[in-house]
Structure 1
């Protein structure tokens, strides 16, 4: 009974912590053809779990390295902007290239976002790595279901894509100010919410500007062809 309770606890903690991972998987794979989309979700979810198992073994050490979380936050900012600015499903012509790009994006984002989350999972596992692996593996179907649900919502309500990118950008800001070298300096000068808010606003603002510029360029090109 104790084993089953611990197993359920690991699954619940992982599900709660996997919300942002599901958003990344959904955003990175939503423009792929249906068959490749399913494969990207499957491999992305399995990759997220695999990385979480590995990182649980080394997370405590990694988080003590100066600037690791800050650099991870910068990577997440790039991923949030990339997913939002490349959200042009009609332009995904090279299916193979798009599939590999989606997998790479998912793996990098999972690697960054799983780093500090694994500490909570390790605390529940209490050193029982068989229990840890089993609990995380059983969570894969739930992450897959969550990713597929988010894709359907994004397809029906495209504005949700911006909400997903905002969540990733906010997570990036929180990770940057959690760095044990830079965090104390920032907390001493600024409110804790300010950096994540500025980063989120910057990613969304840059994306809106970029998309507007693309539309204007396309309109200008169309007029030139007609002339």
Structure 2
């Protein structure tokens, strides 16, 4: 049983809530899309049972993820995946990412859509939360229960804050890099002497992971913006040339 008076417990809870908010915006969009064809009287039921089923499935997935992370080398793989997830968080979003989500005209169909889509889209969330929880399913459950209402009912506010203060996204990517670095050095495959040989190794590698994710994400984002600007300029030039020919 975790120590509720420990600052470490509440730091981990805060990390899990932040992860769910940052990586859960898509899930809120999925819920809205899945229920959009339901009669008004059934929409709240669809949202409630869809979210309930999605939470249950996510807890099961995270439970198994916690067991798997005890296997040597899997924390290293998970840490590297978190680096990439953090970089993707910093990169601009793909506006067509939800085109495959189909609304349903029946309550059961909408609930099924929410649960299946949430399971497919929550792999990054599962890995990140498992890394932040330090093996505690109590932490996982508490963090998800607190964050789900924020994601579902406060998603518009959260997304507006992210749009207005991009530093929130960057900080979130850095957090995932920090957790990924911590996962790397806590893998059972590493010799116990590693921590004695390198003082404060967990903090050093975590800080390096956070810095790596932020720098890589910003660099790739700048390259995407430059490429988009070139494509726009090329298209404008071609359009101008066609206009002159006419």
| Superposed CA offset, 1:58-104 (max 9, x none) | 73xx454211212211121121112222x32xx41252348988753
Aligned to 1:72: 78
Once superposed, which parts of structure 1, at least 4 consecutive aligned residues long, lie more than 6 Å away?
Answer: 98-102
| Superposed CA offset, 1:147-166 (max 9, x none) | 33644432332221111111
CA–CA separation in structure 2 for the residues paired with 1:223 and 1:141: 48
Give the deviation of 1:205 after TM superposition.
0.9
CA–CA separation in structure 1 for the residues paired with 2:172 and 2:101: 20
CA–CA separation in structure 2 for the residues paired with 1:169 and 1:70: 13
CA–CA separation in structure 1 for the residues paired with 2:117 and 2:214: 22
Aligned to 1:18: 16
Scaled by the length of structure 1, the TM-score of the pair is 0.65
State how 1:46-65 maps to structure 2 within 5 Å: 46-52=56-62, 54-55=63-64, 59=67, 62-65=68-71
Scaled by the length of structure 2, the TM-score of the pair is 0.61
Counterparts in 2 of 1:92 and 1:102: CA distance versus 1, 3 Å: farther
* Gapped regions of structure 1 (runs ≥ 5): 1-5, 125-134
Aligned to 1:178: 186
Aligned length: 197
Aligned to 1:35: 32
Please, which of 120, 123, 126 is the counterpart of residue 104 of structure 1? 120
Give the deviation of 1:171 after TM superposition.
0.7
Counterparts in 2 of 1:206 and 1:119: CA distance versus 1, 3 Å: closer
Give 1 or 2 for the bigger CA radius of gyration.
2
Please, which of 195, 200, 211 is the counterpart of residue 191 of structure 1? 200
* Gapped regions of structure 2 (runs ≥ 5): 36-46, 103-115, 238-246
CA RMSD in angstroms comes to 4.0
* Native 8 Å contact 1:76 1:168 kept in 2: yes
* Native 8 Å contact 1:26 1:151 kept in 2: no
CA–CA separation in structure 1 for the residues paired with 2:34 and 2:211: 29
